Amino acid sequence: MQIDAFAAPGQFYRGNLHTHSSLSDGKLDPEEVCKRYRERGYDFICLSDHFMPHYNYPIADTRAFRTNSFTTILGAECHAMATEHGEKWHILAVGLPLDFAPNGDGETGPEIAKRCLDAGAFVAIPHPEWYALTMADAASIPGAHAVEVYNHTSQVLNARGGGSYYLDDLLNSGRRINALACDDAHFVAGEDQNRDAFGGWVMVKAGANEPDALVEALKQGHYYSTQGPRIEDIRVEDGMIVIETSAVFQISVVGRASRNEKQSGTDVTSAKFPLDKFKGDWCRVVAIDSAGKIAWSNPIYP
């Protein structure tokens, strides 16, 4: 039995879901941002500018930058007061309408997250390590589809780009939520404006490289996240989990607490592990290549 992300019909499309332009605090205009991702071989992008009054609540209209082989999804990074630490919420919403309404008076983070969900968006919890979002905060937005396990800009600029521990703690609490790797690119990292871009992305399996199909596939969890390594297949056969990848240093299955199985070596491309220790709970696949780049599956519930 193949895991859903690999059994679903269609093909894999490469995309970045968290990106900023000069409509908010990014350095490049929307057309140039889309051009750079298209020229790097991405199939799609979501320009998620900061949905704040300071920037006149932008939803970047990137439809003019679509081509026969490259598409864009409308979205935003939404904000409201206040997290447990008294900071602005950051809520990534992929698939918003152009006429998504500005914040209402006194609107809270959970309230704007619900509005995004009601509008049909794929909603994620971005860079939890970067601003130390608490588990109580996460519990207040139960509809979120994913948490960023890797945020490239947060790692490049602050060394706070992780989120795997946060994801695992949510899974340990009984919540079913997926993983996400993103750039959060602003193109502001010194002279090399690409330094905070092209570091983490999703591979989404969908029937077409079209916004609605991609957003629906994201909601269904039909994707994996990566910094470079490919996950070619994950399937369950006779109580075993079978994994196929591009050449990597290590393939692991991790679960609650310290539960794990792993196979290491040179140019490992497949591994097979018993699922006994993960039965009735959760596990997820992690593949790490020789350069330390990582790929993450979404959680599996054997």
CATH of the domain at 290: 2.60.40
| CA distance linking residue 106 with residue 44, whole number of Å | 34
Give 164's contacts (C-beta < 8 A, 6+ positions apart).
149, 179, 296
Q: How high is the pLDDT of residue 191?
A: 60
Q: Check whether residue 150 and residue 265 sit in a common domain.
A: no
Residue 145 lies in a domain: yes
pLDDT in tens, 174-201: 999 999 999 999 998 766 668 899 999 9
pLDDT at 2 > cutoff 90: no
Q: Check whether residue 87 and residue 192 sit in a common domain.
A: yes
**Chain-centroid distance, C-alpha 200:** 8
Q: Check whether residue 288 and residue 171 sit in a common domain.
A: no
Q: Check whether residue 264 and residue 218 sit in a common domain.
A: no
Residue 302 lies in a domain: no
Q: How high is the pLDDT of residue 221?
A: 98
3-state DSSP assignment of residue 65: helix
Residue 122 lies in a domain: yes
- Residue 13 has which token pair? 């499309």
Q: Check whether residue 27 and residue 10 sit in a common domain.
A: yes
Contact 179, 202 (CB under 8 A): no
Q: Confidence band (pLDDT; 50, 70, 90) for 1? A: confident
Q: How high is the pLDDT of residue 6?
A: 97
Report the percentage of the chain scoring pLDDT > 70.
Answer: 99
Q: Which residue has the tokens 């075993």?
A: 240
| CA distance linking residue 159 with residue 25, whole number of Å | 20
pLDDT in tens, 88-144: 999 999 999 999 999 999 999 999 999 999 999 999 999 999 999 999 999 999 999
Q: For 16, phi and psi rounded to 5 degrees?
A: -115, 130
Among 79, 70, 64, which Cα is nearest to 25's? 79
Residue 196 lies in a domain: yes
pLDDT in tens, 47-65: 999 999 999 999 999 999 9
Q: How high is the pLDDT of residue 273?
A: 98
Helices H / strands E in the chain, number of each: 7, 15
- Residue 260 has which token pair? 């794990």
Asked which of 181, 209, 226 is the last residue of a domain, the reply is 226
pLDDT at 146 > cutoff 70: yes
Domain range enclosing 202: 4-226
Q: How many CA atoms lie within 13 A of 281 on its CB side?
A: 20
Q: Check whether residue 111 and residue 256 sit in a common domain.
A: no
The model's pTM: 0.97
* Mean pLDDT (the chain, rounded): 96
Lowest average pLDDT, out of 8-12, 46-50, 159-163, 187-191, goes to 187-191
pLDDT in tens, 231-273: 999 999 999 999 999 999 999 999 999 999 999 999 999 999 9
Residue 83 lies in a domain: yes
